[in-house]
Amino acid sequence: MKVEVLQEKLSKALNISSRFIANRAQLPILANVMLEATKTKLTVFATNLEMSSVVSIGAQVSVPGKITVPSRILFDIVANLSSGKVLLEAQREQLKMEAGSFKGNVMGINALDFPNLPTSLGKSAFKMPQIELIKSLTKTLFCVSGDEARPILTGVLFVFSTNGLTLVATDGFRLTLTKIPVKTAIKDMKVVLPKGILIEIAKQLKSEPIGVEFNQESNQALFGFDDMVLSSRIIEGEFPDYEKIIPKTSKVTLAVDKQELLQTIKLSSIFARESSNVIKMTINKEGITISSESEKTGTQSSQVDAKIEGLEESLQVAYNFRFIEELLNVIEGDLLKIELTDGSSPGVFKDPKDPDFLHLIMPVKVQG
Amino acid sequence: MKLDNERVWKDVLESVQVNVSPAIYKTWFTQTKLTKLEKVEGGVIAAEVGCATNYVKDFIENRYFGIIQDSLKKITESSCSLVFAVKQFPSISRLEPTGESAPLFNPQAASVQINQMLQRSRIRPGFTFENYAVSGSNQMAYAAAEAVSKNPGNAYNPLFIYGGVGVGKTHLMVAVGHKILSDNPVSHKTLFATGEEFTNDIVEGIRNKTTPSVRDKYRKLGCLLIDDVQFIAGKDTVQEEFFHTFNAVTSAGGQVILTSDRPPSEIARLEERLRSRFEAGLIVDIANPDFELRCAITQIKARERGLDLAMDLVQTIAGNIIAAREIQGFIVRLASEVSVNNAELSIELIEKLLNKSTLDNGNVTIKYTPEDMISAVSKYFSIGKRVLLGTSRARPVAMPRQILMYLLRRDLKLPLEEVGRVIGRDHTTVMHAVNKITNLASSDVHISEDLMGIKKTLSGKL
């Protein structure tokens, strides 16, 4: 293989690829990226066996061929080169590099042992508008569980129906549901995609629609961008019945100013941090009192104005403040709507600006 | 021929492992499973290999098809057709997201919160009524504690539990706190503290000038549990503070439970007004566990450690160890012996460990000389020393002599040879005697009574 590419493009491609490499790969070759030169393209392959990326950049190819080299090292070298042409030449199991005055030799591994990665989408692929998808993803991803003991919750549920696409994520304590009103070729399907690949998709800032393909047989999801194909496994298993736990009715409805609530939550978090993140919300006719206490450092309480409907007697409910903080970060409008029933059933949080968004948080049971 | 998927696949993987590097084996093959294995027409076996992801499937199918087919052929002794499929293992995906860590999908199970509350109340989760064994020696205390847990603040207030080391005072007190918290978490704010911690809090409060916050911490409680309350005796300010705390809690309808190593009337330098308040409630004592209770404790502790002890083993342990904590320690050692050294659970193992555990127990100071022991035994059985150490092998003499050897060996930790020299016997005779009494101590009530009696005689004499 002998090929000439531009540093900026190669650096960008390696940047994406490096995020698809496992941190601690047991097999040395899995810590490598594969470079393949064909006709007019240099393609960078990377995988951690959960997901994969295949990124192509324009190149001047003198000798086609392929080689794998350690991702970390190649990425660090290319990132530190000045922009301009970079010459890459494979000599047996070494990659010779030249750029300006720089000359380097990187030890690699024969590309034969590198796994096969999907490079293009099949016939059943369909298009999805990117901006809406990314917007919904950023509102959903913070809710995904990191608990590997329950793999099904480490992904986001995509529900395709005739009305559009619904995304659901939960970690068992809270749940987010967003809807994207798009018409897709698929009318009735549910898949759970891992968090990792969705984070990568959410990072891509391009306006063209994304090509999407789900391959049930190989249990794989493919995403096509114009010069890049990402793939991921699909998480198997039964996603918990989210429709059942969304409260159908509520007693009390609150409307609170987002900024004011966020500021108050931040204040109360100072003490709540030391008592398992619990803050108490007491709702009475005057508004919401948010209080927190720590045995070591002290106590606080502050009042937030709110428009309250349906309140008969004062209501107390306790939450993990981080959940509310993270929720407020994705609310678009100035107001947050909260619907409560009692102190022990999940509270429903809505964004008046975005009718397609719904969030549930399970209250914490506290003493006294 | 019945084919066992798991076993066949294990055999296949083992033979594959020989041919590939460990890293390759770990990366690729540990993510596979035999999902289907059936006989089709013509004696051919159709096998389906499930791989966790498509990447794994692709790689193995392209690279190791031949190796896998070969070893499968050898193991099943017939020709095989091989297919690969992407299948996540059912064992992984079957884990239901219910229970402890997903309250959203299981609002009834609030055990996480209970645990958090227990933590805040500083109550150990393991101490509950369910794993508290009851027998004659603690029947009264148990009944009182249960009554308190059902009706906190009203049944007996304060409840004062006293007893020796390791009889289960703290367990019982914490069990009450546990029950109160899980029944009614909101109205009964509970706190567990030792007498010493209470003292430290007060001292800290005085030093940092934060006495009001210390008062807040204790006086607003719905249930106050103080362990080893005798530690506050003789400290004037602390006693005064405790007096007010006590009054504040009880007058607001809160429950106070105290434990101590002796009854209030015997705690020296305890202020009169505190003593009278302690005595106003119910005072119950817990005696040392009797043989039956020790058996029950042994069983409970063994179950916690996942050991399945037969009744005769339980009795051997309970017959030779008096204190409940020591029983726990012994079970821990037994469990580690069984799991680490793969030792078989048997009466021999237990006897071996019993000897060791008492010999290793270096912190027990030897107070008695062999002469003391000899006179104690001779006094207890009313046998002359000369007869006891003489040559007679008549049963009324031989048995006390064996008991004497057992005591010299176990309690004074003399070497076998030395015991033999004192008694005027061979060391093998001593070994026989010690083993015999170890066995009898668990099965024969008289022997254990005799042993206790001799120890009493000894301590009474000194």
pLDDT digits (tens, 9 = 90+) for B403-445: 999 888 888 888 888 888 888 888 899 999 988 888 887 777 7
In this complex, the residue of B27, B57, B186 whose CB is nearest that of residue A30 is: B27
- Which residues from A are below 8 Å from B31, CB to CB? 49
Residue-wise pLDDT tens digits, B11-70: 888 888 888 888 888 888 888 888 888 887 777 888 888 888 888 888 888 888 888 888
Residue-wise pLDDT tens digits, A219-258: 899 999 888 999 999 988 888 888 888 888 888 999 999 9
CA A109 to CA B199: how far, in whole Å?
A: 68
Residue B59 corresponds to which tokens in the numbers above? 């790689």
Query: Cβ(A41)–Cβ(A85) under 8 Å?
Result: no
Residue-wise pLDDT tens digits, B205-233: 888 888 888 888 888 888 899 999 988 88
pLDDT at site A229: 93
H or E element that contains B218? helix B211-219
Predicted confidence (pLDDT) at residue A368 exceeds the cutoff of 60: no
Residue B22 backbone phi and psi in degrees, to 5: -55, -40
Region A126-243: CATH code: 3.10.150.10
Distance linking the first and last C-alpha atoms of chain B: 77
B356: Cβ–Cβ under 8 A, 6 or more apart, which residues? none
H or E element that contains B81? strand B80-86
Q: Which of B152-161, B174-183, B347-356 has the lowest mean pLDDT?
A: B347-356
Percent of chain A predicted with pLDDT > 90: 55
Across the range A149-171, mean pLDDT stands at 89
Banded pLDDT at B461 (limits 50, 70, 90) = low
The answer to whether A2-113 and A246-361 have equal CATH topology is: yes
- Which residues from A are below 8 Å from B97, CB to CB? 150, 152-153, 172, 240
Which 3 state secondary structure label does DSSP give B241? helix
Strands B255-260 and B159-163: parallel
Percent of chain A predicted with pLDDT > 70: 99
Predicted confidence (pLDDT) at residue B100 exceeds the cutoff of 70: no
Across the range B138-157, mean pLDDT stands at 88
Which residue shows structure tokens 């190669």?
A: A10
What order do you get walking across the sheet with A2-6 strand by strand?
A: A60-63, A2-6, A85-91, A94-99, A102-107
Residue type (1 letter), A321: F
**Chain A residue closest in CA terms to B50:** A218
Determine whether the interchain pair A345/B107 forms a contact, defined as Cβ–Cβ distance below 8 Å: yes
Nearest to B137 by CA among B282, B275, B297, B255: B297
Across the range B298-323, mean pLDDT stands at 84
Residue A40 corresponds to which tokens in the numbers above? 């007019």
Q: Bridge partners of A299?
A: A293
Across the range A11-40, mean pLDDT stands at 90
Determine whether the interchain pair A245/B55 forms a contact, defined as Cβ–Cβ distance below 8 Å: no
Region A2-113: CATH code: 3.10.150.10
Q: Could you tell me the pTM of the whole model?
A: 0.57
CA B11 to CA B33: how far, in whole Å?
A: 12
pLDDT at site B120: 75
Helices B347-360 and B324-340: angle between axes, nearest 10 degrees: 120
Q: In B252-323, which ranges are continuous DSSP H helix? A: 272-280, 291-304, 311-320
Residue A282 corresponds to which tokens in the numbers above? 């007491």
Query: Cβ(A99)–Cβ(A5) under 8 Å?
Result: no
pLDDT at site B98: 45
Residue-wise pLDDT tens digits, A304-324: 999 998 888 888 899 999 999
Residue A182 backbone phi and psi in degrees, to 5: -115, 150
Nearest to A9 by CA among A86, A108, A100: A86
pLDDT at site B362: 42
Residue type (1 letter), A191: V
Query: Cβ(B136)–Cβ(B257) under 8 Å?
Result: no
Banded pLDDT at B107 (limits 50, 70, 90) = low
- The count of other CB atoms within 10 Å of the CB of residue B90 is 12
In this complex, the residue of A30, A150, A346 whose CB is nearest that of residue B95 is: A150
Predicted confidence (pLDDT) at residue B318 exceeds the cutoff of 90: no
Q: Is B432 on the interface with A (CB under 8 A)?
A: no
Strands A354-361 and A347-351: antiparallel
- The count of other CB atoms within 10 Å of the CB of residue A25 is 17
- Domain extents in chain A: 2-113, 126-243, 246-361
CA B5 to CA B28: how far, in whole Å?
A: 19
Across the range B376-401, mean pLDDT stands at 88
Tell how many helices (H) and how many strands (E) occur in chain A. Answer: 7, 26
Predicted confidence (pLDDT) at residue A367 exceeds the cutoff of 60: no
Residue A35 corresponds to which tokens in the numbers above? 């470079």
In this complex, the residue of B31, B57, B110 whose CB is nearest that of residue A218 is: B57
Predicted confidence (pLDDT) at residue B97 exceeds the cutoff of 60: no
Determine whether the interchain pair A366/B113 forms a contact, defined as Cβ–Cβ distance below 8 Å: yes
Q: Bridge partners of A51?
A: A232
What order do you get walking across the sheet with B45-51 strand by strand?
A: B32-39, B45-51, B80-86
Q: In B184-210, which ranges are continuous DSSP H helix? A: 195-207
Residue-wise pLDDT tens digits, B191-202: 898 989 899 988
Predicted confidence (pLDDT) at residue B359 exceeds the cutoff of 50: no
CA B153 to CA B157: how far, in whole Å?
A: 6
Residue A149: is it exposed, middle or buried by C-beta count within 10 angstroms (0-12/13-18/19+)?
A: exposed
Which 3 state secondary structure label does DSSP give B139? helix
**Chain B residue closest in CA terms to A235:** B88
CA B378 to CA B201: how far, in whole Å?
A: 54
pLDDT at site B115: 67
Banded pLDDT at A176 (limits 50, 70, 90) = very high
Strands B80-86 and B45-51: parallel
Query: Cβ(A10)–Cβ(A81) under 8 Å?
Result: no
Banded pLDDT at A5 (limits 50, 70, 90) = very high
H or E element that contains B462? none
In the CATH hierarchy, which top-level class contains the domain A246-361?
A: alpha beta
Determine whether the interchain pair B101/A147 forms a contact, defined as Cβ–Cβ distance below 8 Å: yes
Percent of chain B predicted with pLDDT > 90: 5
Q: Is B30 on the interface with A (CB under 8 A)?
A: no
| Angle at alpha carbon of residue B309, lines to B303 and B310, rounded to 5° | 140
Determine whether the interchain pair A219/B56 forms a contact, defined as Cβ–Cβ distance below 8 Å: no
Annotated binding site of B for ATP: 166, 168-170
